[in-house]
Structure 1
Amino acid sequence: MAVSAEAGLVELTVCDGVAVLRLNDPERRNALSKALSDDLALTVETALARGARALVLAAAPPVFCAGGSLDGLLNRAVPLADMYAGMERLAAAPVPTIAAVGGAAVGAGVNLPLACDVVLVSPEARFDPRFLDVGIHPGGGHLWRLAARTGAQGAAALVLCGDALTGEEAVARGLAWRCVPAAELEPLALRLAGRAAARDPELVRRAKATLTASLALDTAEEAAALELTAQRWSVERPGFAEGVRRVKAALRRGPDDRERR
């Protein structure tokens, strides 16, 4: 059953454990005003409170997010740190998060897909940090997240040299996972989110937490130790043996022919 709601500038729909959070301020090209950022943070909280086990971030076309509101940047009464509430809450979500980017993400708007676990794009997507063009230093962990996906050279090319990436180029550079035609973008995001939501929610959350923690480790041995702790936890949970028996029974019925896209 689908449940829809509006939280100001971000629309929310929750269906079968999958929440779609849609930036919905197309007249301002979904610019990251403080109001939109705060609404995004609130919508993430609302989705999780309603039992969402996966989140999809989308946007009303044609622009995914035009970046920080220029009026907001001129309003020095609003602390810069307060402008990142939505992105930070999205990044901290304990469930899988998928961005479906079908238009331009500019400046701080690039932070939103960077805050997600998986980024899907259409050929119409464009990633253009453009911070320096308006005389402001990147913020919200932008450089760190960008370099984690594209490498230091990619972050330098995009931020320091003003390069930009199309959807296909974003996939080639590691910034996005898949590029599909626009009509297939959200269906693909919903399909992946649905698979995540259909899995054991406690196990999915633990695996995401382990993945996040492992990125800060220095050696494979440390990562193996971290995973061993989580793996022991998983096999000691009630219902583990029954789950294995279900998998064995399914394998006896035939190969897994699920669609991979």
Structure 2
Amino acid sequence: MEAALTTQHADNPAGTGEPGALVTVEHTGGVAILRLDDPKRRNALSPAMSSALAGAVDTALAAGAGAMVLTASPPVFCSGGSLDDLISPVVPLRDSYAGFQRLADAPVPTIAAVAGAAIGAGVNLPLACDVVLATPSASFDPRFLDVGIHPGGGHLWRLAGRVGEQGAAALVLCGDRLTGEEAAAAGLAWRCVDDDDLLETALVLARRAAGRPRDLVIRTKSTLRAGRAVTSPAQAAELELAAQEWSVTRPGYTEHLIELRDRLRSRGRG
């Protein structure tokens, strides 16, 4: 990881706070690292944590981050909703998902780096990200029904999109759980990597995304999302054509191609 990091703290929706805040934001090479930092409470997704995460996403975007990496202080990635908060709610259920939803709505690429357990609503956090990396020590355990609550926040839809309806049924209805290696094999995670390599692997992907034209990356991610509602190859082609036609009219497009062509020719490849 690069030596120079700029660190901010987020413990409220505005994304400001003092050391010891629930979520920290580090900036490196155009990438924001969002770290859940409440290990004593197993990074529980309390209303305060959810609010802090929403603020951290806003902080990262305001700073111009081209990509975000979500990680957590060990040993637990996120233990999900607090039982105390479920017994005596301090905010409506809808509001308890503010952080997860802000992450899911981020216009730039997001990468979850999961080590340790993601439990219950904590599984929503990696599901909200575009790419999930896990370690062998990671586990994904929805466990909503074990505490007598229906999954929320679009959990079933996002989970089925990664592992299929059968996988979602096995995990949610039947109480199965996946290790990091099993998650990668099932499609819930993109790769399973060693614990020591997790953050750097995530940063390699994030830096590549952040190093590309921001407007083009944002439009491409938007098209990828919009494709979920497409029902035919013809619709998909039209959706992508509109974005592609936009991309070739962007300022600097022709100059970039000329520079690329000349560089390849100088290497004997053009």
Alignment partners' CA distance in 2, 1:116 and 1:175: 11
Do structure 1's residue 43 and structure 2's residue 56 form an aligned pair?
A: yes
Alignment partners' CA distance in 2, 1:255 and 1:120: 37
Deviation of 1:71 after TM superposition, in Å, equals 1.0
Alignment partners' CA distance in 1, 2:132 and 2:266: 34
**Counterpart amino acid of residue 10 in structure 2:** A
TM-score, with structure 1 as normaliser: 0.95
Structure 2 unpaired stretches of 5+: 12-21
Alignment partners' CA distance in 1, 2:151 and 2:58: 26
Corresponding residue to 1:101 among 81, 92, 114? 114
Quote the sequence identity (%): 63
**Counterpart amino acid of residue 127 in structure 2:** L
Alignment partners' CA distance in 1, 2:223 and 2:10: 31
Question: Within 5 Å, which residues of 2 pair with 1:215-230?
Answer: 215-230=228-243
TM-score, with structure 2 as normaliser: 0.92
| Match in the other structure for 1:185 | 198
Cα distance change on mapping 1:84 and 1:242 into 2, 3 Å? same
Question: Within 5 Å, which residues of 2 pair with 1:23-172?
Answer: 23-172=36-185
| Match in the other structure for 2:220 | 207
Secondary structure of 1:232's counterpart equals helix
Deviation of 1:94 after TM superposition, in Å, equals 0.2
Please, what is the CA RMSD of the aligned residues? Answer: 1.3
Summarize deviations over 1:83-131 as a string: whole Å, max 9, x none: 1000000000000000000111000000000000000011111000000
Secondary structure of 1:93's counterpart equals coil
Moved more, 243-252 or 232-241: 243-252
**Counterpart amino acid of residue 37 in structure 2:** N
**Counterpart amino acid of residue 241 in structure 2:** L
Alignment partners' CA distance in 1, 2:132 and 2:236: 24
Alignment partners' CA distance in 1, 2:250 and 2:54: 33
Corresponding residue pairs, total? 256
| Match in the other structure for 2:18 | none
Alignment partners' CA distance in 2, 1:246 and 1:98: 31
Deviation of 1:7 after TM superposition, in Å, equals 1.1
